[in-house]
Structure 1
Amino acid sequence: MSATFNNQSRSLADWLSYLENQHHSAIDLGLERVAKVATQAKLTHLVAKVITVAGTNGKGSTCALLEQLLLAEGYRVGVYSSPHIVDYRERVRINGQLPDEHAFCESFAAIEQLRCDTSLSYFEFGTLAAIWMFSQQELDYVILEVGLGGRLDATNIVEPDVSVVTTVALDHVDWLGSDLQQIGREKAGIFRAGGKVVIGDDNIVESVLQCAKQLQCQQLAAGHQYTIEDTDAGWSYQGPKLAYQHLPYPKLPRANAATVLAIVEQLELSPSPEVVARVIANWQLAGRLQTLCNEPLVVLDVAHNPQSASYLASQLPVIAKGRKIVAVCAMLSDKDVSASLAPLMDKISYWHISGLNHPRGDDGSALAECLQHQQNVQRHASVKQAYAAAFNSLDNQTMLIVFGSFFTVAETLELSPASLSRE
């Protein structure tokens, strides 16, 4: 770091600007550099028990529910997740709270001193800083959400007590490839020989199960070692040691809730049925079927690939309750736009589409091409313009869903209060 960059006097915004320009590539998969710094900083083994969560979809909601359940049981919990939606501080939670800016600046300064001449990407630097922050706290559990893939992700430098794969689907094909079996192996790269693993999809690709078998892992897999079942009075979870009946149906994917209960089994915990039911009933996460306002009804969701879009499509009729559905959509250029929109085509009555102001953002052309045979489509220059037009069209018989990317949701949330009301 140059002499003009004073570690002690820089703001969080200064640090983030520095991190963005410090490395040659925003995404640079590989563990050699980050492991070198982590070893120097003694961050590869934490005193707290570590749960590392990988998967194409469901990572964030799984981490959030596990966190909320552990907190309800009185444990001290740290969570690292990404990306953030509005505030960088969203990436770290300690006992359910966002650390203040000073805590982030202090952790960045610590990693800057420890890394010497080792170049780190924005994500690697932030990951190490979060882990350093956790190491300074007396925590019982640390939950790490994998950023991209698993095997080569920076979170994989920490030895996990439980490794989790939620789902495997096509996404990030530029880095992980378009072969589902290969993507599965990359995500299963967080497994350890003889370690405890949870596999949350009862239709998981075979390569994930093969990795667990080859490593002789202690496995709890959906549809194998644990099952879920629908009943008139709710749904049930049945594992080797734990069973829960009459659980409330959550707004977020029930499979992810079952994954959390399997993680709880692997941690050898046994929360009461009353606590489990209450936490699941209150389960929520920013940007995941998030209600922005009720009159008119506006919902935000970060669905940005075929699998997450399919789940959104399944939930929209339940949320809409007979209303017509208007959509605002903007996506990144490296996403499978056609396959992501397909499950929503017969759910949306009117589309407002735009580009995204991001280096990987599509300008709206891909969306326009996919929707060229739809009659009710309006293209806008920005998410802000698309949102304003859509919001002003709403009445009591219509609702608005905003989706397509974390950045789409972020741009919507960052609009001023005045722009969230009728003009």
Structure 2
Amino acid sequence: MKTLNEWLAYCERLHPTVIELGLDRVRAVADRLALRFDGPVITVAGTNGKGSTCAMLEAILLQAGYRTGVYTSPHLVHFEERCRIRGQAIAADELVACLEQVEAARGDVSLTYFEFTTLAILLAMARAGLDVVILEVGLGGRLDAVNVIDTDCAVITSIDIDHAELLGDTREKIGFEKAGIMRPGKPAIVSDPVPPQSVLDHAAAIGADLWLLGRDFNYQGNNPQQWAWAGRGRRYSGLGYPTLRGANQLINASGALAALDALRTRLPVTAQAVRNGFGMMDLPGRFQVVPGHPVVILDVAHNPHAVAALAQSLDAMGSFLMTHGVFGAMADKDIPAILRHMDPLIDRWYFTDLPTPRAASAQALEAIWRAVTQRAGAAAECFATPMAAFDAAAARVQPTDRIVCFGSFYTVGGVLEHGVPHLESDAPWQHADR
């Protein structure tokens, strides 16, 4: 195996199951690789808001002059997006070298695709001479592969029901899994406004330094131009809003600032670095509004909690003549709840298949929508790929309309892999039959 794609295909075949939670196998290989980091480690778990929180931390710390490493998943288009070193995606050949070393170290230990690639990325970051490492949990927390690394600061974002078959069917059960990233005596930032009691109980049981939104840190965002934040040791006023849009981004930003406040003796940052970081960050697929007419919005919201926030953000955009919705999702998601949130906003649906066996078919999505819709005049079509669905929407759209492409990372990534979609004055809607 020579190329990254060949290695990734090998990793997919190696283990009998796609997901197998547990740390014993990963820890055994991590010990053989002697994985360790010299600088602080920030680990971020949660149902929604993890990627945004990681991006905010990274942007501020880069502006403060630190050498950062970020591990996040899944990716939108290219696997290399999962690892950013000093703000840049890792090179494929660097990943290949680390995958080779994991293969040599694992011996007869069988690893899942996620575990194998996580170890390779951790190895790459461990050798990059970094000042700070930011790790996004892939699934849950307690038994996720990144939890083999002891964190210096845990951040837990919003908690809601997702992956119930693996993590539990209540917020209390899921909260316990997320809380597994906490460490005794270390800061544990909880930015969920109403955290499950299981999170608070676990923090108390292990003696973590618990920071709660509304008690240890808070924000005010009533001014449409500026917002303010206060924590235990720092206060910021007159902050510009983060360039990441969306209804919950101030909550994510508050959690990021609390983590930096908790680590201020090891990672001091200036107020200017905070302002610049929030103003210069970029994270594709998180309420990404593509400029132009008509408007295009891309969002990886793929569970009811995230889709509710998406609907709130869409509603706040104002009036559009029609909203066209491109949607694809995994079959294990709560699709009826997702569609009920979006049904009042979408005038025409474009359901799409996705290139993975886990996905619900476009036809299945349409059938679920027809069972839950309250809009007699809405219409729907089915397509084989996200790009085909998007092209069909683009062929119908008028300048006063908008297209919302949302759902799985495969949905948004399937459009973005062809480039960021710009619909300008020569777009197909000029000649299309509505």
- CA drift at 1:61: 0.6
Equivalent in the alignment of 1:353: 351
Q: Which of 170, 179, 186 in structure 1 is aligned with 2:170?
A: 179
AA aligned opposite 2:382: H
User: How many angstroms apart in 2 are the aligned matches of 1:231 and 1:335?
Assistant: 34
User: How many angstroms apart in 2 are the aligned matches of 1:297 and 1:414?
Assistant: 19
Give the gaps of 5 or more residues in structure 1.
none
Equivalent in the alignment of 1:386: 389
Correspondence 1:237 to 2:229: yes
User: How many angstroms apart in 2 are the aligned matches of 1:323 and 1:73?
Assistant: 44
User: How many angstroms apart in 2 are the aligned matches of 1:320 and 1:19?
Assistant: 46
Q: Is the 8 A contact 1:337 1:366 kept in 2?
A: no
- CA drift at 1:398: 0.2
- CA drift at 1:356: 2.2
User: What secondary structure does 1:392 align onto?
Assistant: helix
Q: Which of 312, 315, 320 in structure 1 is aligned with 2:313?
A: 315
Q: Is the 8 A contact 1:231 1:246 kept in 2?
A: no
- CA drift at 1:368: 1.9
Pairs within 5 Å for 1:58-207: 58-207=49-198
Correspondence 1:13 to 2:2: no
Comparing 71-80 and 229-238, the one that deviates more: 229-238
Comparing 91-100 and 239-248, the one that deviates more: 239-248
AA aligned opposite 1:386: A
Q: Is the 8 A contact 2:293 2:399 kept in 1?
A: yes
- CA drift at 1:350: 1.9
User: How many angstroms apart in 1 are the aligned matches of 2:420 and 2:261?
Assistant: 44
Equivalent in the alignment of 1:42: 34
- CA drift at 1:419: 11
Equivalent in the alignment of 1:330: 328
- CA drift at 1:113: 0.7
User: What secondary structure does 1:317 align onto?
Assistant: helix
Give the gaps of 5 or more residues in structure 2.
430-434
Correspondence 1:422 to 2:428: yes
Give TM-score scaled by structure 1 length. Answer: 0.93
User: How many angstroms apart in 2 are the aligned matches of 1:419 and 1:166?
Assistant: 32
RMSD of the alignment, in Å?
A: 1.9
User: What secondary structure does 1:36 align onto?
Assistant: helix
Q: Which of 396, 409, 418 in structure 1 is aligned with 2:412?
A: 409
User: How many angstroms apart in 1 are the aligned matches of 2:421 and 2:134?
Assistant: 37
Comparing 349-358 and 95-104, the one that deviates more: 349-358
User: How many angstroms apart in 2 are the aligned matches of 1:323 and 1:219?
Assistant: 47
Q: Is the 8 A contact 1:371 1:377 kept in 2?
A: no
User: How many angstroms apart in 2 are the aligned matches of 1:219 and 1:323?
Assistant: 47
User: How many angstroms apart in 1 are the aligned matches of 2:101 and 2:171?
Assistant: 39
Q: Is the 8 A contact 1:388 1:419 kept in 2?
A: no
Deviations 1:44-79 (A, max 9, x none): x32121001100000001001100100000000000
AA aligned opposite 1:184: G
User: How many angstroms apart in 2 are the aligned matches of 1:241 and 1:385?
Assistant: 51
- CA drift at 1:276: 1.7
- CA drift at 1:339: 1.3
- CA drift at 1:337: 0.8
Equivalent in the alignment of 2:403: 400
User: How many angstroms apart in 2 are the aligned matches of 1:299 and 1:231?
Assistant: 25
Comparing 318-327 and 383-392, the one that deviates more: 318-327
Q: Which of 250, 259, 266 in structure 2 is aligned with 1:254?
A: 250
User: What secondary structure does 1:181 align onto?
Assistant: helix
User: How many angstroms apart in 1 are the aligned matches of 2:13 and 2:326?
Assistant: 32
Matched residue pairs, number? 414
Identity of aligned residues (%): 37
Q: Is the 8 A contact 1:242 1:270 kept in 2?
A: no
Q: Which of 319, 340, 343 in structure 2 is aligned with 1:342?
A: 340
User: What secondary structure does 1:231 align onto?
Assistant: coil
Comparing 174-183 and 341-350, the one that deviates more: 341-350
Change (3 A) 1:289 1:162: same
Change (3 A) 1:419 1:282: closer
Q: Is the 8 A contact 1:353 1:377 kept in 2?
A: no
Give TM-score scaled by structure 2 length. Answer: 0.91
AA aligned opposite 2:135: L
Comparing 246-255 and 316-325, the one that deviates more: 316-325
